[in-house]
Structure 1
Amino acid sequence: MISAILAMFIGGIGQAFEADGAGTVTGLGWAALFLSILGLVGSILVKNKPKAGGVLMLIAGIGGIISISFFYILAGALLIIPGLISLFSKQKSTSINA
């Protein structure tokens, strides 16, 4: 989220100085903020629904890297790695046989 806010801040400064493409940077910052929130939701869901949570974290990590690239590298890696782990790990069954 900090990276997304930083990208929006830089885009806002660019718009104040009427730089070309500054509006695009601000828009991509908003997209990264949305994707960060999506990653948080995925991390909450991963306890009860590991596949759905893993998919949400992968979408958030890859989408964030695409949207604001350099600023999202650390957050993207920290979302992609556990997303892959939750998708490919074998979960124990918690059902009780009577």
Structure 2
Amino acid sequence: MEDKRTVEFVLGLIGGIFGIISGIGAVGLGGLGSAVGASGSTTVGGLGIVAILFSVLGIVGAVFVRTKGKLGGAFMIIAAIGGFICISYFYILPGVLLIIPGLMGLLKKNQSISKK
């Protein structure tokens, strides 16, 4: 029986999707702040776009975790940390949903056990 790492894939995919939603929310909040003339609002919008890119990296990591577990896990951890640095509290849920499968991908050994 070959391990397909389905749990890591699903959690990483959900985390990446929620990350994109959070990034869009940050971009919208930056646009709203810019419309009312708040200072620093363009920075929030720019960081929201970077968080969306990190979320896409998390989704790529979720796809890679099935074939290359350590690389996919590293991608998801980088996406979680980078997204949290960009938009902090907006990225708590996606960050947790990316850190857990990222650690599982890095720490879990590939098991190819064939039953006789």
TM bracket, shorter-chain basis? over 0.9
Question: SS of the counterpart of 1:90?
Answer: coil
Please name the residue that 1:12 is paired with.
Answer: 31
- 2:72 corresponds to which of 53, 61, 67: 53
Q: How far apart, in 2, do the equivalents of 1:42 and 1:86 lie?
A: 10
Q: Give the fraction of aligned pairs with identical amino acids, expressed as a percent.
A: 53
Establish whether residue 3 from structure 1 lines up as the match of residue 22 from structure 2: yes
Shift of 1:3: 0.4
- The letter for the 2-side match of 1:56 is F
Measure the CA separation in 1 of the matches of 2:67 and 2:84. 27
Q: Point out where structure 1 has 5 or more consecutive residues left out of the alignment.
A: none
Q: CA deviation at 1:17?
A: 1.2
**Normalising by the residue count of structure 1, what TM-score does the alignment of the two structures yield?**
0.92
Q: Residues 18-97 of structure 1: matches in 2 within 5 Å?
A: 18-93=37-112
Q: Which has the higher contact order (CA 8 A, sep 6+)?
A: 2
Gaps of 5+ in 2: 1-19
How far has the Cα of 1:69 moved from its partner? 0.6
Structure 1: 4+ residue segments shifted above 2 A? none
Query: For residues 8-46 of structure 1, what are the alpha-carbon distances to aligned partners after superposition, in whole Å with 9 as ceiling and x for unaligned?
Result: 000001111121000100011001000000000000000
2:78 aligns to what SS in structure 1?
helix
**TM-score, structure 2 as length reference:** 0.78
Code of the aligned partner of 1:63? G
Q: For the residues of structure 1 that align with 2:110 and 2:53, how far apart are their CA atoms?
A: 29
RMSD between superposed Cα atoms in Å: 1.0
Separation in 1, partners of 2:109, 2:61: 18
